[in-house]
Structure 1
Amino acid sequence: MSLHIAAPADVIRRRCEATTVRVTSGESGYEDGAVVPAGPWHPPPDDMVRRAASPAAVDTTLVELVDAAAIEARLLTAPHVTRLGRAESPARALTTTHNYRDGRRIGLHLDNWDKLSYHDKALGRRRLCVNLGPGTRYLLVCDADIQQICRAIRPDHVTCYPHTDDLRAYAAAGLPMTCLRIRLAPGDGYLAPTEFLPHDGSTEGYASPSTAAFWLGHWPHGTFRSAGSR
């Protein structure tokens, strides 16, 4: 499993829930073929928790929970950092990211800010997200990485440039993948390898909207104070 979270197992159990995924067809507000959590949500299996809490091979594939109040401004203005701006998410949204061309939601997806090939996808910058509130939100993240996905469905995976379409083909084929949602209260944040792991945001089950702020950067593990104990 490629999903690694820099938190003890008890914190992962307290903050996280798991489900399978499904592919949309003819659903209002969604692109056809989008991959979304299938529900219902349940506590993550013990073996998944143990594997998620194990160390990652490299920092660039690690998910970290961050205390936004402790973030120093200098860490957001380093040369390797790109500010991506803010996104407002409505309440009770199963997923949050939409296609800017037509407003339809794209579901779980892969970022491609760094334009990386198959071989380099695990080395991309991680995304820093801060939940500005007023509502709680989730990070949705899957346990199958895009290299694993491409190996399963693409004969040309060695020379390809992975894309969200590869994730959609993998899910449509019924291949195994679990989606985890990680709760982020206002003032919480995360660092996540969004070029490497299928992901999105969610406000499902919450009556208040949430605004999130985003940056990309190469921050080593432990740069930011952890919010994992809350």
Structure 2
Amino acid sequence: MPLHIAYGDPSALRARCEIATVRTVRPGEAAYEPGAIIPAGQWRPMSEADVKAVTAPRRPLDSTIVEIVRPAYREGLPLEDLTGLLGDPDAVYLGQALAKPDMTTTTDNYEDGRLIGLHLDNWDKLPYADKHTGRRRVCFNLGPGTRFIVLGTIDAQAVCRAVHPNDRTHRYPHTQDYRDYVASGRPLRIIRVRLAAGEGYVAPTEYLLHDGSSEGQGQPSAAAFWLGHWPRGILPSLI
């Protein structure tokens, strides 16, 4: 299933989101891994057709929905305990990450420090047939700056089918599938969603291409992350 965003007010969605395409990094962009894919720039407002394309079906799978939320955080509550309020006793606190100002993408390879670009998470190590059932990630922007979540509009199963049409059954969808998809000349659109300090998202980062971004922002922003199985609507929606 493609990117689906839960919203109640299309004007609020459009006010917070922009759309663009991607490109593969060039040889001179040494901050990135070879083959990484990143936003191509030229962000534009979402059209009515763009909004329609990300509108969730009437009975969506909760595990594939993106929600833009305000986390239920109480002053003095340890961050690692926040998801105790959300009902998944097996939720995992993944820790925090700091984005410097004006980063096109934020995630690096811990082994060599190079940025990996837009990518697919693989905490659950799910095969092709089960990839849509993975846990969703909760992110809480701790600030002080604004940041973005950048999301691909094509899901991991669809990309795996396109790249491996004859032997996908036993495969485990991976970031490399997306890199091969883009390198072959296939188009891929992305949407970035603005998150001010105190705001966050719930997203299937095991299922959709994504990364954080602080592009165009003058302040750093820290984010805290959790992984778990949460039903849609467990946190108040901002849109």
The TM-score range, normalised by the shorter chain, is: over 0.9
Indicate whether 1:63 and 2:66 are aligned.
Answer: yes
Show the 5 A alignment for 1:1-230. Answer: 2-7=2-7, 8-26=9-27, 27-55=29-57, 57-69=60-72, 74-75=84-85, 78-154=88-164, 155-228=166-239
Q: How far apart, in 1, do the equivalents of 2:177 and 2:43 lie?
A: 25
Unaligned runs of 5+ residues in structure 1 are none
Secondary structure class of the residue paired with 2:139: strand
Distance 1:76 1:223, change over 3 A: closer
Structure 1 residue 183: Cα displacement: 0.2
| Contact 1:9 1:53 (8 Å CA) reproduced | no
| Contact 2:152 2:191 (8 Å CA) reproduced | yes
| TM-score normalised by structure 1 residue count | 0.95
Structure 1 residue 10: Cα displacement: 1.4
Query: What do residues 57-94 of structure 1 show as CA deviations (whole Å, max 9, x unaligned)?
Result: 30000000111245765236842201100001100000
Q: How far apart, in 2, do the equivalents of 1:149 and 1:3 lie?
A: 13
Query: What do residues 108-132 of structure 1 show as CA deviations (whole Å, max 9, x unaligned)?
Result: 0000000100011100000000000
| Contact 1:76 1:215 (8 Å CA) reproduced | no
Unaligned runs of 5+ residues in structure 2 are 75-81
Q: How far apart, in 2, do the equivalents of 1:78 and 1:220 lie?
A: 9
User: Could you tell me which amino acid in structure 2 is paired with residue 36 of structure 1?
Assistant: I
| TM-score normalised by structure 2 residue count | 0.91
Which residue is 2:77 aligned to? none
Deviates more, 1:134-143 or 1:20-29: 20-29
| Contact 1:9 1:50 (8 Å CA) reproduced | no
Query: What do residues 161-188 of structure 1 show as CA deviations (whole Å, max 9, x unaligned)?
Result: 1111111000111112111000000000
Q: How far apart, in 1, do the equivalents of 2:88 and 2:56 lie?
A: 29
Structure 1 residue 28: Cα displacement: 2.4
| Contact 2:72 2:235 (8 Å CA) reproduced | no
